Amino acid sequence: MKQDGLNQIDKAVVRARFNKASTTYDAHDFLQREVAKRALERLDFVTVDVQKAIDLGSGTGRCARELSQRYKKAHITHGDLAWSMLDRARSLAPRWFSRQQYVCADVEQLPFKEDCFDLAFSSLSLQWCLRLENAFNEVRRILKPGGLFMFTTLGPDTLKELRQAFATVSGSEHVNAFIDMHDIGDLLGGSGFADPVMETEYLTVEYDDVMTLMRDLKGLGAANAALERGRGLLGKAHLKALIAAYEQHRRDGKLPATYEVIFGHAWVTAGPVLQSGTEHVFPLQQLRRRR
């Protein structure tokens, strides 16, 4: 993603891949669950009266269900670009007396009126936006004064090992690009949010081999969707070269996959917008890929 907020991705491909991944997503989402857990824990340190909340990029509904447990009297909306994800989420939700609803929607063009939510939550979905400022403008529009926007997304060091390995065998883009934390903070302020707080945590997932990593990405629907991406399968020679290149990163018998996870939150106020924020970077932490 470029600094101007333009992400060169094919959103139709993004939608199609997530629709296809709705039945496999929960078998590969160990990193997503860990990131969502850390984001939800951050709600313990803020005070917001939540009557209506929306999970943007809700996937199979794990975070929305957690929000419904946290705010038991609130109406929770699942919002996702992929209808099959919403259908899967609905099949996993309580059938009786549910305060949850499901809306197939693009975060850059939300079908809601102004000032209708107290909380907008989004975990690891904003990296699929064409223009991040469009998403921020839309979230700012649908939040009430006093509303909170809590989100996570990915930074430019994400999957750096895979990106470097692909660069040795192909001149095409094979790994999605991601925007820097400082630029995200600037875009938040430009969209009218107050008191943005940005944090970065580095997580690594350890793999036995690179093919397991690539199967995880495919199972999540998170494979490369860049407009200039490489097309088709790698030939045997290129695949062998890719594996050899990634092997250069092996440490203590494992192959690392780095994720730069950006955590952010900001407020909607009725008064003047405050654009000064707080930024933190946390040390690398490791997660072991489940067998």
Q: Where are the domains of the chain?
A: 11-288
Give the Cα separation of 129 and 116 in Å (integer). Answer: 22
Positions of E strands within the chain: 52-56, 75-80, 100-104, 117-123, 143-154, 194-207, 255-267, 278-288
The number of helices, as runs of H, and strands, as runs of E, in the chain is 9, 8
Please tell me whether the overall predicted TM-score, pTM, comes out greater than 0.95 for this model: no
CA-closest candidate to residue 55, choices 24, 21, 23, 89: 89
37 Cβ contact partners less than 8 Å away, ≥ 6 residues apart: none
Fold type of domain 11-288: Rossmann fold (3.40.50)
Question: Do strands 255-267 and 194-207 pair parallel, antiparallel, or not at all (unpaired)?
Answer: antiparallel
Q: What is the pLDDT along the chain (291 residues), one digit of tens a residue?
A: 444 445 678 889 899 999 999 999 999 999 999 999 999 999 999 999 999 999 999 999 999 999 999 999 999 999 999 999 999 999 998 776 678 999 999 999 999 999 999 999 999 999 999 999 999 999 999 999 999 999 999 999 999 999 999 888 865 665 777 899 999 999 999 999 999 999 999 999 999 999 999 899 989 887 654 444 444 556 788 889 999 999 999 999 999 999 999 999 999 987 544 443 444 444 445 444 544
Is residue 179 within 8 A of residue 170, CB to CB? The reply is: no
Is residue 138 within 8 A of residue 193, CB to CB? The reply is: no
